[in-house]
Copies of this chain bind each other. A is one copy, B any other.
């Protein structure tokens, strides 16, 4: 790996990266990571109810969602926001689209990747996205794909927190303290004008995760204080020199 660490967020819809890992983005950006956010769609059809109720056209909805995503990415300090504009509900990638995602993965050479939970009966785009993320991670590791390019190593794939968490078989194995960047996450959430009802919802998620952070870092015998946190589930095992 070169000097700069990098991370890649693979988000089915434009706003997912804000609610689900906005804190991780801001925190790692602040630590010097170059964080790239890939939005495969704008969530224009399925996650923009308010705009459709207002009578916006598809192009308008997409433009507004893109604008909000760009604003949020900037607030969070993301290095780059890549919009694939592939459509949603359903999201579908042809092979060329997958190879474009592989190109991005190879360009970023992420220290870690993030995507959705592996099961989500409410939102099949989410589980499809993760399946594609694993497929593209595999392709990016292939020496025979665009020979000569730098192949991908073995970055972790973290699954960020879904909505209606307990229905998804999602079990967090790591909590990240995002207290130092909370203001940025809240500000990024407030860029999402069509989903005002989620601002407080995900603020409460962060507060609950902070409680879990404290419990698991020491509990009633001196757990470290933490006001806001995010949880993630790891797909792959870690490799360490000390437990």
Contact = CB atoms under 8 A, between A and B. Distances in A.
A243 B28 contact: yes
| Identical chains bound together, number | 6
B90 A139 contact: yes
B216 A237 contact: yes
B144 A52 contact: yes
A114 to B, nearest CB: 9
Contact of A174 (B7, B166, B170, B243): B243
Nearest to A5: B242
Determine the interface band of chain A, counting residues with CB < 8 A from chain B. 35 or more
Contacts of A234: 173
A151 B220 contact: yes
Contact of A144 (B58, B158, B212): B58
A170 B166 contact: yes
A224 B1 CA distance: 12
Contacts of A241: 27, 176-177
Interface string A208-226: 1001110111111111101
A136 to B, nearest CB: 9
Given A28-B243, A176-B240, A217-B239, A125 B154 contact: no
Interface in A118-173: 121-125, 131, 134-135, 138-139, 141-145, 147, 150-154, 156-158, 163-167, 170-173
A107 interface: no
A209 to B, nearest CB: 10
Interface in A192-237: 201, 204-205, 207-208, 211-213, 215-224, 226, 229, 231-232, 234-237
